[in-house]
């Protein structure tokens, strides 16, 4: 027990001695010298003069290449395959109108033959019905003329009976003959009406059979599938003799002759963006190669979450403007970076982004001025930018206010400056503010 107590006392003594030694060393160390920037004297600075000029504008975006057109190739008529194009390989190029596959047309050929025969029968029935109408119309004219003649005869007999030249029985006979003629005329008119109905029925039957034949011919023509446009096939070729179902895609055709780039541009950056504007597209997979492009589509509505608008660029199929020796072949799915050239800002004051500092989230510029003793100093002045947000990604930032033309703006070294700091300026400007 005594040994344990002695050990604890020794450890406590050692810890106390170490703490005392550390305190003595810290107290005897020299204090660091605090030097303010103002104690260093005037800071040599470089400056530029604010002047109005034409400021180029551009939008930098990224996206993925995709074909201008795609088509899912699916049979419109099911059946057994009797022919498949020998050009069909995944990735192979096919021209517009190339036969891709053919479904067995025998059954549809017979259906077309039956349709032709039925249509010919309908044509014959229609011609016969029209002939009956013509004959009925001739009979109606004849019956009408006969009735009119008997009606005139009845009138003559009635006059002679009233004059006493004929008996009443003669008038009765004339009336009876005219009544029979009236009945014959009504029957002729009914035959004309019935034959006209028969013609309309025959015309309807012919139209129906003509539509059936046209449908059969259309289905027969669709047994042969042709490429709707030139492009590359994506998918493996089906085997001859296999059965295909209508509407089930067999492959996809990609129009890679014209590639497009879908990008999303922030709503602030779309100001002044128009269809047809030029752009340049680069590819990280092919460094140094740049393809010209143009804006072909601008979305009508911004995404409420990202506040971006879809914009589509179409690459110039005429070739690349290559800055290197890559000259690679582009493919759908490549990642690409594009710069869209916007209309420049006319008579605008702009500075390199490195000339700006931010205080409380607001952009400031250091403006050269003189204090009450006539010494050169810098003043941190808040400025207004013409564009905000994601637009501040370019090399030049244009001003909407805060700086007057002719004022001198310090561009270096900003890290040593504070508001009101004394500076030593050069006699000449550092150069173009847009350098």
Query: Each residue of 352-399: pLDDT tens digit?
Result: 888 898 988 889 999 999 888 888 899 999 999 876 544 455 577 888
For the ranges 173-177, 301-305, 342-346, which has the lowest average pLDDT?
A: 342-346
pLDDT digits (tens, 9 = 90+) for 225-264: 999 998 889 888 889 999 999 999 999 998 888 889 999 9
Is pLDDT at 117 greater than 80 in this prediction? yes
pLDDT in tens, 47-62: 898 898 887 878 888 9
Mean pLDDT of the chain: 83
pLDDT value at residue 113: 94
Q: Which residue has the higher pLDDT, 26 or 304?
A: 304
Residue 146 has pLDDT above 80, yes or no: yes
Residue 30 has pLDDT above 70, yes or no: no
Check residues 19 and 299 and name the one with the higher pLDDT.
Answer: 299
Comparing 346 with 105, the larger pLDDT belongs to: 105
| pLDDT tier, 157 (very low <50, low <70, confident <90, very high otherwise) | confident
Q: Which of 416, 410, 374, 426 is nearest to 39 (CA)?
A: 416
- Work out the percent of the chain whose per-residue pLDDT is above 90: 38
Mean pLDDT of all residues in 332-348: 85
> CA 223, CA 106: separation in Å to the nearest integer?
10
User: What residues does 264 pair with on adjacent strands?
Assistant: 310
Query: Residue 320 pLDDT > 50, yes or no?
Result: no
Q: What is the C-alpha to C-alpha distance for residues 367 and 381, in angstroms, rounded to an integer?
A: 7
Query: What is the pLDDT averaged over residues 402-406?
Result: 89
* Whether pLDDT at 38 is above 60: no
pTM of the model: 0.56
- For the segment 313-332, the average pLDDT, to the nearest whole number, is 60
**In the prediction, which pLDDT does 107 show?**
93
């Amino acid at each position: 027990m005594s040994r344990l107590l002695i050990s604890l006392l020794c450890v406590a003594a050692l810890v106390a001695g170490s703490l005392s030694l550390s305190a003595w060393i810290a107290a005897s160390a020299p204090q660091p010298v605090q030097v303010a920037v103002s104690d260093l004297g005037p800071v040599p600075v470089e400056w530029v003069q604010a002047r109005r000029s034409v400021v180029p504008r551009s939008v930098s975006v990224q996206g993925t290449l995709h074909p201008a057109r795609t088509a899912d190739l699916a049979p419109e008529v099911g059946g057994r395959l009797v022919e498949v194009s020998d050009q069909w390989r995944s990735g192979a190029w096919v021209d517009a109108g190339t036969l891709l596959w053919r479904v067995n047309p025998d059954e549809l050929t017979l259906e077309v033959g039956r349709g032709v025969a039925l249509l010919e029968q309908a044509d014959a029935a229609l011609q016969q019905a029209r002939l009956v109408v013509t004959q009925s119309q001739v009979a109606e004219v004849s019956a009408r003329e006969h009735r009119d003649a008997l009606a005139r005869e009845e009138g003559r007999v009635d006059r002679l009976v009233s004059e006493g030249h004929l008996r009443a029985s003669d008038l009765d006979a004339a009336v009876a003959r005219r009544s029979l003629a009236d009945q014959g005329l009504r029957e002729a008119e009914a035959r004309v009406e019935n034959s006209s109905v028969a013609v309309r029925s025959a015309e309807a039957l012919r139209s129906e059979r003509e539509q059936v034949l046209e449908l059969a011919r259309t289905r027969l023509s669709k047994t042969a599938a042709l490429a709707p446009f030139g492009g590359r096939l994506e998918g493996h070729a089906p085997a001859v003799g296999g059965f295909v179902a209508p509407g089930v895609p067999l492959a996809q055709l990609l129009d890679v002759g014209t590639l497009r780039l879908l990008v999303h541009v922030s709503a602030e950056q779309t100001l002044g963006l128009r269809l047809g504007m030029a752009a340049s597209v680069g590819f990280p997979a092919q460094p140094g190669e740049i393809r010209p492009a143009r804006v072909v589509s601008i979305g009508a509505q911004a995404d409420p979450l990202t506040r971006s608008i879809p914009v589509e660029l179409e690459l110039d199929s005429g070739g690349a403007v290559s800055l290197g020796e890559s000259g690679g072949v582009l493919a759908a799915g490549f990642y690409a970076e594009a710069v869209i050239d916007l209309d420049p800002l006319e008579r605008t004051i702009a500075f390199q982004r490195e000339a700006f500092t931010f205080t409380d989230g607001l952009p400031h510029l250091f403006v050269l001025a003189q204090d009450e003793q006539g010494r050169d100093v810098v003043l941190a002045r808040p400025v207004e930018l013409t564009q905000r947000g994601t637009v501040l990604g370019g090399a030049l930032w244009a001003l909407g206010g805060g700086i007057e033309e002719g004022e001198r703006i310090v561009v270096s070294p900003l890290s040593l400056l504070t508001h009101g700091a004394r500076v030593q300026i050069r006699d000449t400007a550092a150069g173009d503010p847009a350098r």
